[in-house]
Amino acid sequence: MIIVDKALENRKREGNPIRVALVGAGFMGRGIALQIVTAVPGMRLVAIANRDRERGRGAYLGAGIESVRVVESIDEMEDAVSRNEYVVTDDAMLVCQAGNVDAVIEATGDVEFSAQVALKAIEHHKHVILMNAELDATIGPILKVYADKADVVITNADGDQPGVIMNLYRFVKGIGCKPVLAGNMKGLHDPYRNPTTQEAFARKYHQKPHMVTSFADGTKVSFEMAVVANGTGLRVGKRGMYGPTCTNVHDAVNLFPMDQLLDGGLVDYVVGAEPSPGVFVLGYNDHPTQQAYLRYYKMGDGPLYTFYTPYHLCHFEVPLTVARAVLFGDATLAPLAGPVVDVVATAKRDLKADEIIDGIGCYMTYGQCENSELVLARDLLPMGLAEGCRLKRDVPKDQVLTNADVELPKARLCDKLRVEQHAHFAPSGTASSSR
């Protein structure tokens, strides 16, 4: 991070800040705006796009910026940025197309809308930073193909759990231990939570009920771990992951099947472990001398060792991801090639024919991780595509939905890109074609 800091200081000194646009002014977006404006030299938040422009204006105001310009065209957008004015718009496509924007941060949590944002930004040679595991887990691999062709970076963000896990994974690998499990730490897992049960919690922390429901019902951790799987090649040991309960993260060395850990490795999570919240990686080292050193360093007897980060500081670290992408062409976390793990839609209650499936973190479905080859073989419905689908038949509680169970909404970009992703990576041995 010292190199990033120095590079940003150089951009500040040269009067040439990285020009960043933010799409989404919700809970996380407001934090990102505050961080860039008040704490990051050599970077300028030139524009905020939000459907409600007043929320965009409010994000700037929360960061101490009182004077903003509302724009409605590319010409107005580019003129305002060239004059060092701060821009608010309700048209996210403007910030994706403007010639004087270097990077776009997508922070909406929506799949269809953010697919449009990401693809438009890539088409106009913008680096794309995703605060959106839902999009990344659903069609991240094909978006990476587009980004590579455009010679730009698409990446998940530092600070959010997938990015923190990936940085820890690199550290463990870098010290000579083999990462055999990349893990998340959850305080609660109940797949039947819904916006009604989570309303009070959401109100307390000024978040949307459906968002905090996705944390509680396991959907969010599933998306996050699918993103990590696609960036590392690790898989799930079973549908939904194991998710054992324990009191301390160091207990994790005894909670997962050793044969699966050593046969390619896993992504998974634990519930209730301290110190929380955080992430962990299990590293394997069977060298007798190294084991003696690790024992001396109070890491245990091995051959499995627990490495953990006891926090994730989401919005604080996002500007680091922007800098890594723009200045060094470096992704914090991006798919290696084709999908390894997907998230599949599962009935939260008995579902009835002709019902329209509601959104992520709502009343009808929750998400579970499944290895991608099984998703394809069984034609399972991705959770990221479930919203808006009409049920063709009844589906009982806890059954995974298939594509045959639903009718997709018409003319969605996310569905088109998902089909394209299948076609691009389908034949055996074509994973390298994404590079």
**Residue 190 has which token pair?**
């109940």
Q: What is the mean pLDDT for each group of 10 consecutive residues in the chain (435 residues)?
A: 89 97 96 97 98 96 97 97 97 97 95 98 98 97 98 97 97 98 95 96 89 94 98 98 97 98 98 93 98 97 97 94 97 97 98 97 98 97 98 98 98 98 79 33
Query: Nearest CA to 310 among 133, 174, 184, 132?
Result: 184
3-state secondary structure of 145: helix
Say if CB 221 and CB 186 are below 8 A apart.
Answer: yes
pLDDT reported for residue 431:
41
pLDDT reported for residue 56:
97
> Helices 27-39 and 314-328 meet at what angle, rounded to 10?
60
> Helices 219-232 and 161-174 meet at what angle, rounded to 10?
40
Task: Return all residues near 84 (Cβ < 8 A) that are at least 6 apart.
Answer: 44
**Residue 409 has which token pair?**
């909404």
Task: Return all residues near 49 (Cβ < 8 A) that are at least 6 apart.
Answer: 21, 22, 23, 24, 56, 88, 89, 90, 91, 92, 94, 95
pLDDT reported for residue 207:
87
For 305-374, give the DSSP string.
EEEEES---HHHHHHHHHHHHHHH---SB--SSS-SEEEEEEESS-B-TTPBP--TTSSSEEEEEEEHHH
Sign for the CA dihedral angle at 87, 92, 93, 98 comes to positive
Upper half-sphere CA count for residue 358 (Cβ side, 13 Å): 16
pLDDT reported for residue 428:
62
3-state secondary structure of 149: helix
Query: Nearest CA to 260 among 231, 291, 284?
Result: 284
- Please state the pTM of the whole predicted model: 0.95
